[in-house]
């Protein structure tokens, strides 16, 4: 599941493959960019912001008289949502990532070919305008400017919201997806339906979320238990009806807002303020 750590890893893969390289050919397979040609452009860097990917490019500058002008900075934005991925291949290497019909863009450079599969929200915009797409995001858990106090402040601004929904709201803090949401709440012993205002230690919860994501940087297996063995990487996420690793109670799964949530009814006792179902 692409959460902040997956997107961070993806940005690093793209950075290593393309940073500093000149694009020799581009092939966009989304209607809004179908006529875009990035050949001759240079990749400056690849970065992530929460769950958004920002591939920063330089277009060769041209003055009207044909004299050299400063390079113009652009950003190719993409979002992985539930199923997107970028892969980097060596030139000539077989693209083994995903079925070809999922390809949305191919960027060729002398040293690598980057292929984007099932990407969402693909947009090419001036780098100076990036905030149009990511300016609403709360502090990025894996960003250089991570600000836990600001994340806590934004969460606390909506005390009636359930903590399960608040942790997923990227305007509060950017990078937590459903997996880390479920795992953080289990580890803190907090029911997903607890109103934010009743969570005992918001700073502790925010700090734990950051540590879990940071621990999974640099690898593709997402683990909150410390184990990288298949079937042992989570406490509650994806474990409906299986015994809780702490108390043996069957893990439950239920809808909360737009998403499903997993929790242990014993380790995460319900808050009395939980709204009535329906």
**Binding stretches for Zn ion (CB under 5 A):** 244, 246-247, 249, 264, 266-267
Q: Please say which residue, 75 or 234, places its beta carbon nearer to Zn ion.
A: 234
- Residue nearer to Zn ion on the CB measure, 191 or 210: 191
Nearer to Zn ion, 37 or 254 (CB): 254
Q: Which is nearer to Zn ion, 26 or 268 (CB)?
A: 268
Residue, CB closest to Zn ion: 244
Active-site residue, selected from the candidate residues 44, 49, 51, 188: 51
Maximum distance among all Cα pairs of the chain, rounded to whole angstroms: 75
Determine whether 51 is an active site residue.
yes
Instruction: Decide if 3 is catalytic.
Output: yes
| Residue placing its CB nearer to Zn ion in the complex, 69 or 247 | 247
CB of 197 to Zn ion, least distance (A): 25
Q: Which of 45, 148, 259, 265 is catalytic?
A: 259
Task: Work out how close the CB of 251 gets to Zn ion at its nearest, in angstroms, rounded to a whole number.
Answer: 8
Nearest CB to Zn ion, comparing residues 98 and 271: 271
- Looking at 3, 130, 165, 183, which residue is catalytic? 3
Q: What is the full DSSP assignment across the chain?
A: ---HHHHHHHHHHHHHHHTTPBP-EEEE-SGGGTT---TT-EEEEEEEETTEEEEEEEEEEE-TTS-EEEEEEEEEEEE-TTT-EEEEE-TT----SS-GGGEEEEEE-SS-EEEEES-EEEEEEEGGGTHHHHTT---BTTSTT--HHHHHHHHHT-TTSBHHHHHH-TTTSBS--HHHHHHHHHHHT--TTSBGGG-S-HHHHHHHHHHHHHHTTT-SS--SSS--STT-S-SSTT-TTSBPTTT-PBPEEEEETTEEEEE-TTTSPPPTTPPPP-
Q: How far is the CB of 268 from Zn ion (least distance, A)?
A: 7
Say if residues 127 and 73 touch (Cβ distance below 8 Å).
yes
To Zn ion, the closest distance from the beta carbon of 189 in angstroms equals: 9
Please state the three-class secondary structure of 120-144 as a single string: EEEEEEEHHHCHHHHCCCCCECCCC
Least distance from C-beta 185 to Zn ion, angstroms? Answer: 12
CB of 231 to Zn ion, least distance (A): 17
Q: Is the dihedral of CA 30, 5, 176, 181 positive or negative?
A: positive
Query: 2, 49, 104, 181: which one is catalytic?
Result: 2
Q: Which residues does the annotation mark as catalytic?
A: 2-3, 51, 259
């Amino acid at each position: 599941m692409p959460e902040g750590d997956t997107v961070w890893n993806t940005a690093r893969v793209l950075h290593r493959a393309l940073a500093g390289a000149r694009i020799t050919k581009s092939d966009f397979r989304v209607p809004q960019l179908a006529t875009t040609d990035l050949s001759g452009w240079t990749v400056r860097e690849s970065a992530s912001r929460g769950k958004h990917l920002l591939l920063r490019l330089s277009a060769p500058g041209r003055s009207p008289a044909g004299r050299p002008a400063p390079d113009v900075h652009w950003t190719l934005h993409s979002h992985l949502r539930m199923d997107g991925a970028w892969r980097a291949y060596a030139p000539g290497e077989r693209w083994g990532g995903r079925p070809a019909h999922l390809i949305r863009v191919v960027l060729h450079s002398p040293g690598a070919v980057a292929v984007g599969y099932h990407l969402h929200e693909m947009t090419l915009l001036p780098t100076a305008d990036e905030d149009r797409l990511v300016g609403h995001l709360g502090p990025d858990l894996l960003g250089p400017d991570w600000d836990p106090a600001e994340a806590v402040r934004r969460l606390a601004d909506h005390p009636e919201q359930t903590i399960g929904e608040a942790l997923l709201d990227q305007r509060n803090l950017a990078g937590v997806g459903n997996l880390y949401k479920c795992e953080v709440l289990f580890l803190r012993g907090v029911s997903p339906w607890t109103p934010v205002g009743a969570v005992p230690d918001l700073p502790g919860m925010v700090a734990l979320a950051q540590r879990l994501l940071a621990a999974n940087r640099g690898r593709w297996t997402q683990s909150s238990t410390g184990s990288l063995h298949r079937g042992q990487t989570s406490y509650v996420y994806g474990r409906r009806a299986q015994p809780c690793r702490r108390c043996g109670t069957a893990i439950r799964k239920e809808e909360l807002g737009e998403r499903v949530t997993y929790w242990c009814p014993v380790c995460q006792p319900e808050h009395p303020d939980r709204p009535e179902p329906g």
